Structure 1
Amino acid sequence: MYLRQLQEGVEVLLQRETLPEAERDQLRQRVMILDAWKLAKKALSAGDMVQLNTIAGHLHPPELNDETLWQQFGLAPFAITWRMAGNFPPMISAIQKLRQRARLEQDHSQEVHMLWGLIAAQIALGQLQEASTCCQELQQLITSLHIPAPLVAYPSLFQAQLAYARNQLEVAQRAALEAIQKAAPFQYMDILMGAYEVLVHASIARGELSKALQVLNEMEGVNQAADIPLFQPWIEGLRSSLWLAQGNLASAADWAEHTPYRQEALTGSVYSREGTYLTLVHVDLAQQKYQQALQLLAALLESAEQVSRVGSMVSVLALQVAALQVLGSTQEALLVLARLLPLAEPEGYLRPFLDAGEPMQQVLQAWFCQEQEAVAPRLSTYAQTIFKAFASEQRQSEMETSASLISSGHPHALSPSTEPGLEPLTPREQEVLCLLAEGATNQEIAERLVISLTTVKKHVSSLFLKLAAENRTHAVARARELALL
């Protein structure tokens, strides 16, 4: 409605015979911008990437000699195309220029519109720290300017996405629910679908599968009512992820076999469907189709690398580590991990590692066994943080399993054979454990690690305690049982 009124106003002005030619040209350009904006919205709803590129190809990027509002409208078709293609660097560059002008003109209301696009791009590029800062600025502007819904919901959506990437699952769920509550009365689909996606993923990660199913069904109902094909691949991928979590591999495998998205990802992926492509990888891994998974990951990695989309690279590389490990290619997996850790550490990613599952945990253990002298201390600390997150999830899963067994009156709910959550080993303990497995004596370990004999004995005693082992042989055996070696 607003765009139609805006265009009618411009067309009325064009009918004035006394209008200077320069102003007439500017108004004609504005009409073209509005026409392109309407076509772009229609193509976006249909997920028509070809049409979006065609629209952008017939336009020139907005000039800085027009009003900020019209620069924003002029940027929109390009921003939509860049976002669909996952090509965010030019989008950030263009938005930063417009934001700078809005700031100079103290047009804070336009700055709000610039900021939400900027944050979405930063998250995709893996710039989580910058996105967090901008999100705080956006929230402050919205509060001070009393910006109405649905834009008021964007900070909650971004907080949910950032929290999930860092494995702050309760925060992610709470923020996603806030975004949904704020956007639902307006049926603002960009916010709604993004928030539903986070809420489903976070619920699955916490083992709340009934809740995940409820949210997913609600998401599908909202999308069916809006009739927007763009989000259908999201829903299909999320449902398949839920099937995997439920142990329903047959349904997930059937979907993966018949979906067109695999071929699409291999020949020309669409960024908005990346989550669906990654679900296909998880299904491949569950079916032990490791080479097929690696082929798809290679295509996705190439696409992300071409536009420096680090957020995507982190997710893809994490799954590459897992796929290589289950293939028995631990050394190759370690090489990929060595590339992944420096990319992910500055931004505090955790969830992509955890979503890669036990194979990632095994490769991390192998990484700790390597020589650590050349490794930056921050990377070692970061790897230990990831490993602790794995241990925490395992303890939580065991507690939920025990609670479920107790509530159902299972006779073995409190069986002493139930494996308690393992306290994570420190990097040095992992090194000592690897040398114990090689048969090294305490003196040999001290010499290899250049530490005192007393320190070695302390580490060995700590290993016995953590592994519930009675001696060195038992410790190595327990470590192998727990996939620590």
Structure 2
Amino acid sequence: AARWYEKQGLIHETMAHTLAAADYSFAISVLKQRAAQLWIQGEAKMISIWIMALPDALLQNHLDFALLSILKLLDLAQNMPERQWTEARTQSEQLMTRLKRVLYSEWKGSLSEVEMGRIHNRLHILYSLMDIRTALLASDIQEVRRLAQQIQPLAAQEQAAWKKIPLSGLFLSAQVLGDVVLLLPDLLAVKQQALQEQDYSTALVVMCWLAGALLYGGHLHSLHKECLHVQDLLKHLGSQIAIAAYPTLDLAFLFYAWNQLDKAQSSLQNAIQHARHWQDMTVLVWSYSLSVKVFLAAGKLAEAEQALQETQRLIRETGLTAYASEVMAAQVSFWIAHQDLSAAEAWTNRFLCDAAPSEYIHVEEYLALARVYLAQQQYASCLHLLAQLLSKMEGMKRHWDVVQILALQVVALHSCGEVMQGRQVVIRLLTLTEPEGYVRVYLDAGESMQQVLKTLLETSEDDGAHTTVVSLSFVSTILSAFEQEKCRLPLPQQAPHALVAQVGTQPHTHASSVLVEPLSRREQEVLRLVAEGATNQEIADHLVISLTTVKKHVGSLLTKLTAENRTHAVARARELSLL
């Protein structure tokens, strides 16, 4: 029966009947033949269970395979919730204890000194992998890095699957410490080795890490190519794996940078669906955090708020505090989009860091701090922070962050009257971003960036001074994107500091022709629903916000529109062409 099921490709039935018949030689033969495909399919747990059912005499001849199965099991469970990880670790420790007993039994003499040393090294690597997970949950990133560096020499002469373990610790710590781009040579080497060994489960994981490093390095076209390579390989293998959510998430970052927001949202939906299926909490946190930015860029404030709340819930429930800075940055972006500067200012006052980049990168949080400084018109503080951050990011070759920093520098310099210096920085920014097709970084910088680009285009066309340095067609493309943004969004997309400047400096004309203060996007949504005759409760249900929040927005509308009641507010809005 076992052999009949094996011919049909039914591995679970094959193993059940083989073990029932105590045909252990056939069992290990089938397992070793099918293991590579089963690992790709996420069957590491079942393989370990089947190995535990084999007798010691057989395991003694297949110690390397048994250890590799433990590695695959722990690797699969790395990003799973605590319960699944604990189950995988317990199962792995049981099998490791049994393997050590076999190793030191009467068969010990049959192994050479080299074989004994290799097995000892692999056991050490496996225990270190467990310790890396513990350190990561405790947000002890330096310990993660130390453990990875400690076992790296042990894996130097190993197969790609074993080299991947110290590389995983280095990659995970580098995501926080910031030097992930510096791992590109190691990632490329292990990827090539895994492909040569036809170890596709290892190759796919390393390719996903490689895509992440390419993203941070700002190599958008290479990133796109690598993600498509992963998808093609998965299609060729006819399989899906847990790590496959990572290139899908990376594509969302890529599409956001290219200002292809619909594609970014679609990629995020796929990443979230995939991560939920595989219980990958890290991908979920990253996906919902990025969703906040994408929804804000698309003017979908209600969806952004929901994504933010989900991100915060995941951090609380999983304890993945290493990613808390990205979540905090998303929160600040949400406050700024709502023009809730009081909350953003309160956050800066209790900012845990000293407003100077530390050994831990927290780059998204520092960029959020710079944006708050811009909104507060604290241009000197903003430029000081950005200068320090730029130096560090350039040292780590993180061009993804470099272009964001340069964009904020352009805005700060323009706002404080440093026109020529701002021009120099924007020329450098254009030079870095044109080859990779960045667009969104300019739109996120707001109206000040648009003005700088318009001035650059006009002066370059007049005197030809920079035509050899900057592609004027690329500048025109970005300016066209600004115009398209204005048509797509209810109000012109502006940087928060520009809105603050307008409120504080623009002269007011008669109340019937202008607003006392611009409406926020949420207030516009509420206004449209009020005009449709919706009650406060219906508005709350539609926008998924509290009744108290709706009343607050309605009150703000009445104030800004200088209206006495809801009917008067709708009439005033129509006078001002807001409806």
Smaller-chain TM-score range? Answer: 0.7 to 0.9
Retained in 1: the 8 A contact 2:431–2:469? no
1:356 and 1:198 map into 2 onto residues whose CA distance is: 17
The Cα shift of 1:130 comes to 0.4
Partner of 1:450: none
Aligned CA distance change for structure 1 residues 60 and 21 (closer, same or farther; 3 Å): same
Report Cα offsets for 1:118-137 as digits up to 9, x if no partner.
Answer: 00000000001000001011
1:296 aligned residue (385, 390, 393) = 385
**1:395-410 alignment to 2 at 5 Å?**
395-398=487-490, 408-409=530-531, 410=570
2:473 and 2:486 map into 1 onto residues whose CA distance is: 20
Retained in 2: the 8 A contact 1:153–1:183? yes
Partner of 1:332: 421
Retained in 2: the 8 A contact 1:269–1:303? no
Retained in 1: the 8 A contact 2:227–2:247? yes
5+ residue gaps, structure 2, are 1-44, 46-72, 75-88, 493-520, 532-569
Aligned CA distance change for structure 1 residues 148 and 397 (closer, same or farther; 3 Å): closer
The Cα shift of 1:414 comes to 5.3
Alignment partner of 1:41 is 2:139:
no
Alignment partner of 1:206 is 2:298:
yes
2:400 aligned residue (293, 299, 311) = 311
1:76 and 1:329 map into 2 onto residues whose CA distance is: 45
Partner of 2:163: 71
The Cα shift of 1:219 comes to 1.7
Partner of 1:244: 336
Equivalent pairs counted in the alignment come to 415
1:216 and 1:62 map into 2 onto residues whose CA distance is: 42
Alignment partner of 1:21 is 2:113:
yes
Aligned CA distance change for structure 1 residues 12 and 200 (closer, same or farther; 3 Å): farther
Retained in 1: the 8 A contact 2:148–2:167? no
Counterpart amino acid of residue 411 in structure 1: A
Alignment partner of 1:411 is 2:561:
no
2:357 and 2:389 map into 1 onto residues whose CA distance is: 10
Report Cα offsets for 1:264-304 as digits up to 9, x if no partner.
Answer: x6152423x21111111111111111111111111211111
Q: Tell me whether 328-337 or 398-407 shows the greater mean CA deviation.
A: 398-407
Aligned CA distance change for structure 1 residues 150 and 58 (closer, same or farther; 3 Å): closer
2:210 and 2:367 map into 1 onto residues whose CA distance is: 24
5+ residue gaps, structure 1, are 420-485
- TM-score, normalising length: structure 2: 0.67
2:151 and 2:163 map into 1 onto residues whose CA distance is: 13
1:286 aligned residue (375, 382, 386) = 375
2:371 and 2:454 map into 1 onto residues whose CA distance is: 22
Counterpart amino acid of residue 413 in structure 2: L
Counterpart amino acid of residue 178 in structure 1: N
1:277 and 1:218 map into 2 onto residues whose CA distance is: 22
Retained in 1: the 8 A contact 2:430–2:470? no
Partner of 1:82: 174
The Cα shift of 1:188 comes to 0.7
1:136 and 1:255 map into 2 onto residues whose CA distance is: 40
Report Cα offsets for 1:332-382 as digits up to 9, x if no partner.
Answer: 111111111111111111111111111111111221133353424872111
**Rg: which structure is higher?**
2
SS of the aligned residue for 2:158 comes to coil
Alignment partner of 1:110 is 2:202:
yes
2:193 and 2:282 map into 1 onto residues whose CA distance is: 26
Alignment partner of 1:126 is 2:286:
no
Report Cα offsets for 1:402-436 as digits up to 9, x if no partner.
Answer: 88756544235555x769xxxxxxxxxxxxxxxxx
Counterpart amino acid of residue 266 in structure 1: A
1:61 and 1:274 map into 2 onto residues whose CA distance is: 31
Percentage of pairs with the same residue:
30
Alignment partner of 1:215 is 2:307:
yes
Retained in 2: the 8 A contact 1:177–1:199? no
2:215 and 2:254 map into 1 onto residues whose CA distance is: 8
Partner of 1:459: none
1:178 aligned residue (261, 264, 270) = 270
**1:347-362 alignment to 2 at 5 Å?**
347-362=436-451
2:443 and 2:526 map into 1 onto residues whose CA distance is: 23
The Cα shift of 1:84 comes to 2.3
Aligned CA distance change for structure 1 residues 74 and 11 (closer, same or farther; 3 Å): farther
Q: Tell me whether 145-154 or 113-122 shows the greater mean CA deviation.
A: 145-154
Report Cα offsets for 1:66-87 as digits up to 9, x if no partner.
Answer: 1221111232222223332221
Report Cα offsets for 1:79-119 as digits up to 9, x if no partner.
Answer: 22333222134321111111111222222222111110000
